[in-house]
């Protein structure tokens, strides 16, 4: 009796959240699609122009350059984050006091803001007063302090170093969970069979933690494809717009050049790319739920 | 050398090789300390630099440690434009409203999802997770147009709504799990005693779902406190800045030259609440993080 009447009671409880999503996610999404077919700008306009914005994106060198730059950034940083994250997970999986402390230290920068960490590293990388530059000279890696943000490749490297510091703990913590869920008995059995540490890592830990590694990789790659803060703060797109990421390019078009119609078209293109990745992520996680 | 003891069993297996085990252990401990040093270094340097007097911060080449103690940088940030108290208030207010919105929306939604037969439940659940698939970065243009019309730009409520969009999927997910983890017997007993669904939610579920609500609040706070892009776009008036946006202003505002000292002071101010919360609520943080990432 109760279950019958509660069909709509349950829906009632969900209504505020559903309304919120309808008003602030789905409606703007519709607006985004519509605006992308107009020449709207912050200063007015809004004439229907069909697919002109998309055609423009296709022939816009800045768009392609920013997209390629974002993809290359993602391709560089993801293996670094996952590789170091996995090593960090191996190092700290065991629950001794020192290792838990190490895990905490690696995870600490994850809780501070990406913008904040970018400000710290912008200073550390400075050619004149930057202590990271000084450290690299002191330990003999550099002859003299480097100007990091005058060349696109160096700027990208600097961002990769800073973001790796900031976020490596994220992949680590997912993989620690993955590794800890492998039963002790399996690892002990392998040890009794005389498997060396690295053999155990390769034959047991790596395959059994594969799912959490894959998941961490996807989340991390999606995050990198949406990079903005770190480049806005550290490179400012310099030199000559070579370090604009996709989101940064959208920001420039929409909120600096006020070309909202064109910015909307760019947003939609990026969204489709990201949704493909997110769909894979959800498929992967929901499979776990049913098992 | 490469034999690193893993779990309890390791001791029994490897005592016969004490000679090779001990150095490996020492090496692992050394690596741990090296990693800790690397991770702490940028934060420690920033913290120390924030107390350097102006001349020392600008020194070329720079010194790692301050030679004297000064609050100059903090005073400069304190008096910057509308004043640090205004910016701290903005950040706290937006974070607070984000927490409130997330709880008000996600607690009942999670309860409804966990405890009732709802038509098309999983479809509706996916709708609630929609903003996880649609990057909010793409929605900022239409939201900006909408909020300009509604007068929600340069407004705490406006930015908190954006941050709620970002945080809602995680919050709903966590609350649904939290409610599903509560035994049904409790609910049945309450029904027998004649409680209405709303009373059941308030008297029985809310207290038991507390850890879930703490997790939701914690993540809402940290995300909102740190979020940069939407704050940059929606809080463009200098009295409306949140802390991360303030820092972009601080960096090159004093007499046109880069002012690293005040920047580091600002960094310290914005980092402290995050680190304090992390230490206080670490347990919630890591478990929430795991369930959230796997959402």
Interchain proximity A275–B133, CB inside 8 Å:
yes
Pair (B244, B179) in one structural domain: yes
With bands split at pLDDT 50, 70 and 90, how would you rate the model's confidence at B272?
very high
Interchain proximity A120–B3, CB inside 8 Å:
no
The pair of structure tokens assigned to B90 is 């903005």
The confidence score (pLDDT) of residue A125 equals: 94
Pair (B18, B85) in one structural domain: no
Pair (B42, B96) in one structural domain: no
Any domain includes B141: yes
Q: Domain range for residue A192?
A: 42-290
Q: Which residue of A has its CA nearest to B264?
A: A120
- Domains in chain B, number: 2
3-class state of residue B245 by DSSP: helix
pLDDT above 70: residue B183: yes
**Cβ-Cβ contacts under 8 Å, B133 against chain A:** 274-275, 278-279, 282
Q: Which residues of chain A, if any, have pLDDT below 50? A: 1-4, 289-291
Any domain includes A73: yes
Any domain includes B22: yes
**Cβ-Cβ contacts under 8 Å, B35 against chain A:** 88, 91, 102, 105-106
**Cβ-Cβ contacts under 8 Å, B141 against chain A:** 32, 35, 250, 254, 260, 263-264, 267
The confidence score (pLDDT) of residue B257 equals: 63
A111 vs B62, B168, B222: nearest CB: B222
**Cβ-Cβ contacts under 8 Å, A109 against chain B:** 39, 42-43
Report d(CA B115, CA A13) in Å as an integer: 10
Any domain includes B4: no
The confidence score (pLDDT) of residue B253 equals: 61
Pair (B57, B92) in one structural domain: no
Pair (B140, B221) in one structural domain: yes
Pair (B21, B123) in one structural domain: no
pLDDT above 50: residue B9: no
Q: Domain range for residue B142?
A: 76-293
Interchain proximity B130–A255, CB inside 8 Å:
no
The confidence score (pLDDT) of residue B217 equals: 94
Please spell the DSSP secondary structure of B196-208, one letter per residue.
Answer: -HHHIIIIIIHHH
Q: Domain holding A133: CATH number? A: 1.10.3720.10
Cis? peptide before B210, omega within 30° of 0: no
Residue A163 in contact with residue A170, Cβ under 8 Å? no
Q: Which residue of B has its CA nearest to A121?
A: B42
The confidence score (pLDDT) of residue A6 equals: 60
Any domain includes B144: yes
The confidence score (pLDDT) of residue B293 equals: 57
Neighbours of A202 (CB within 10 A): 12
Range with the poorest average pLDDT among A82-91, B6-15, B62-71: B6-15
Interchain proximity B274–A113, CB inside 8 Å:
yes
Distance of alpha carbon A205 from its chain centroid, rounded?
A: 25
pLDDT above 70: residue B159: yes
pLDDT above 50: residue B15: no
Final residue in a domain of this structure, among B32, B49, B73: B73
Q: Which of A187, A208, A194 is nearest to B6 (CA)?
A: A187
Pair (B66, B167) in one structural domain: no
Any domain includes B111: yes
* Structure-token match 């600097």, residue found: A158
Residue B181, strand partner residues: none
Best to test chain B binding among A4, A17, A254 (most B CBs inside 10 Å): A17
ipTM attached to this prediction: 0.90
Range with the poorest average pLDDT among A21-35, A98-112, B206-220, B255-269: B255-269
The confidence score (pLDDT) of residue A101 equals: 93
Any domain includes B237: yes
Neighbours of A63 (CB within 10 A): 22
Q: Which residue of A has its CA nearest to B46?
A: A120
Interchain proximity A14–B270, CB inside 8 Å:
no
How far is B94 from chain A, CA to nearest CA, in Å? 15
User: What is the mean predicted confidence (pLDDT) over B17-27?
Assistant: 70
A28 vs B142, B233, B285: nearest CB: B142
With bands split at pLDDT 50, 70 and 90, how would you rate the model's confidence at B58?
confident
Residue A48, strand partner residues: A38
- Domains in chain A, number: 1
Interchain proximity B141–A32, CB inside 8 Å:
yes
DSSP one-letter code for B99: H
DSSP one-letter code for B15: G
Q: Which residue of B has its CA nearest to A28?
A: B142
Residue B77, strand partner residues: none
The confidence score (pLDDT) of residue B256 equals: 53
**Cβ-Cβ contacts under 8 Å, A165 against chain B:** 38-39, 42
Handedness of CA A247, A248, A253, A255 (dihedral sign): positive
Any domain includes B201: yes
Q: Which residue of B has its CA nearest to A283?
A: B295
With bands split at pLDDT 50, 70 and 90, how would you rate the model's confidence at B20?
low
pLDDT above 70: residue B1: no
The pair of structure tokens assigned to A84 is 């170091």
Interchain proximity A184–B7, CB inside 8 Å:
yes
The confidence score (pLDDT) of residue A1 equals: 37
Any domain includes A276: yes
Interchain proximity A25–B165, CB inside 8 Å:
yes
Final residue in a domain of this structure, among B38, B73, B108: B73
User: What is the mean predicted confidence (pLDDT) over B277-285?
Assistant: 84
Please spell the DSSP secondary structure of chain A, one letter per residue.
Answer: -HHHHHHHHHHHHHHHHHHHHIIIIIHHHHHHHHHTTB--BTTB---B-TTHHHHHHHT-HHHHHHHHHHHHHHHHHHHHHHHHHHHHHHHH-S--HHHHHHHHHHHHHHHS-HHHHHHHHHHHT-TTT-HHHHHHHHTTS-SS---TTSSHHHHHHHHHHHHHHHHHHHHHHHHHHHHHTS-HHHHHHHHHTT--HHHHIIIIIHHHTHHHHHHHHHHHHHHHHT--HHHHHHTTT-STTTT--HHHHHHIIIIIS--HHHHHHHHHHHHHHHHHHHHHHHHHHHHHHH-
Pair (B144, B206) in one structural domain: yes
Q: Domain holding B97: CATH number? A: 1.10.3720.10
Report d(CA A76, CA A68) in Å as an integer: 12
Interchain proximity B133–A196, CB inside 8 Å:
no
CA-based diameter of chain B, in Å?
Answer: 76
How far is B79 from chain A, CA to nearest CA, in Å? 20
Report d(CA B185, CA B200) in Å as an integer: 12
Best to test chain A binding among B17, B112, B141, B149 (most A CBs inside 10 Å): B141
Pair (B255, B277) in one structural domain: yes
Pair (B45, B96) in one structural domain: no
Q: What is the pLDDT of residues B147-158, one digit of tens each?
A: 999 999 999 999
Pair (B111, B246) in one structural domain: yes
Interchain proximity A109–B226, CB inside 8 Å:
no
How far is A154 from chain B, CA to nearest CA, in Å? 19
Pair (B67, B107) in one structural domain: no
How far is B282 from chain A, CA to nearest CA, in Å? 9
With bands split at pLDDT 50, 70 and 90, how would you rate the model's confidence at B208?
confident
Interchain proximity A102–B271, CB inside 8 Å:
no
């Amino acid at each position: 009796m109760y279950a019958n009447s509660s069909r709509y009671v349950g829906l009632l409880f969900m209504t505020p959240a559903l309304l919120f999503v309808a008003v602030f996610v789905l409606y703007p999404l519709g607006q985004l699609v519509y605006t992308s077919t107009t020449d709207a700008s912050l200063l007015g306009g809004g004439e229907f122009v069909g697919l002109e914005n998309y055609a423009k994106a296709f022939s816009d060198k800045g768009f392609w350059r920013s997209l390629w730059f974002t993809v290359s950034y993602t391709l560089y940083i993801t293996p670094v984050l996952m590789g170091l994250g996995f090593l960090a997970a191996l190092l700290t999986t065991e629950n001794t006091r020192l290792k838990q402390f190490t895990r905490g230290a690696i995870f600490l920068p994850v809780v501070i803001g990406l913008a904040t960490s970018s400000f710290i590293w912008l200073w550390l990388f400075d050619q004149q007063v930057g202590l990271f530059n000084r450290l690299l000279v002191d330990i003999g890696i550099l002859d003299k302090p480097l100007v990091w943000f005058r060349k696109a490749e160096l700027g990208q490297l600097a961002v990769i170093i800073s973001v790796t510091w900031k976020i490596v703990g994220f992949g680590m913590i997912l993989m620690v969970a993955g590794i800890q869920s492998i039963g002790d008995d399996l690892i002990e059995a392998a040890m009794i069979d005389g498997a060396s540490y690295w053999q155990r890592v390769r034959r047991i830990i790596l395959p059994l933690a594969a799912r959490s590694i894959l998941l961490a990789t996807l989340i991390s790659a999606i995050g990198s494809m949406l990079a903005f803060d770190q480049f806005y703060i550290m490179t400012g797109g310099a030199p000559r717009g070579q370090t604009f990421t996709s989101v940064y390019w959208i920001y420039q078009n929409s909120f600096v050049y006020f070309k909202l119609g064109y910015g909307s078209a760019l947003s939609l293109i990026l969204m489709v790319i990201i949704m493909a990745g997110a769909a894979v992520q959800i498929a992967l996680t929901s499979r776990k739920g049913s098992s | 050398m490469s034999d690193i003891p893993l779990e309890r069993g390791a001791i029994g297996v490897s005592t016969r090789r004490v000679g090779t085990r001990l150095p490996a252990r020492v090496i692992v401990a050394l690596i741990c300390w090296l990693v800790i040093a690397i991770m702490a270094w940028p934060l420690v340097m920033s913290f120390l630099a924030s107390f350097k007097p102006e001349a020392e911060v600008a020194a070329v080449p720079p010194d790692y440690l301050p030679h004297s103690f000064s609050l100059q940088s903090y005073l400069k940030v304190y008096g910057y434009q509308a004043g640090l108290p205004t910016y701290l208030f903005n950040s706290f207010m937006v974070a607070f409203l984000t927490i409130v919105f997330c709880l008000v929306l996600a607690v009942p939604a999670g309860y409804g999802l966990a405890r009732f037969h709802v038509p098309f439940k999983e479809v509706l659940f996916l709708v609630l997770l929609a903003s996880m698939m649609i990057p909010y970065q793409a929605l900022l243009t239409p939201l900006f147009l909408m909020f300009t019309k509604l007068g929600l730009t340069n407004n705490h409520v406006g930015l908190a709504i954006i941050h709620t969009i970002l945080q809602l999927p995680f919050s709903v997910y966590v609350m649904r799990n939290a409610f599903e983890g509560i035994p049904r017997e409790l609910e049945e007993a309450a029904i027998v005693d004649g409680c209405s669904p709303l009373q059941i939610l308030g008297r029985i579920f809310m207290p038991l779902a507390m850890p879930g609500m703490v997790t939701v609040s914690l993540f809402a706070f940290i995300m909102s406190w740190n979020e940069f892009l939407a704050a940059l776009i929606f809080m463009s008036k200098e009295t409306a800045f949140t802390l991360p946006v303030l820092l972009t202003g601080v960096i090159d505002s004093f007499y046109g030259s880069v002012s690293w000292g005040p920047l580091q002071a600002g960094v310290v101010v914005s980092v402290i609440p995050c680190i304090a919360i992390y230490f206080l609520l670490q347990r919630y943080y890591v478990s929430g993080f795991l369930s959230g990432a796997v959402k």
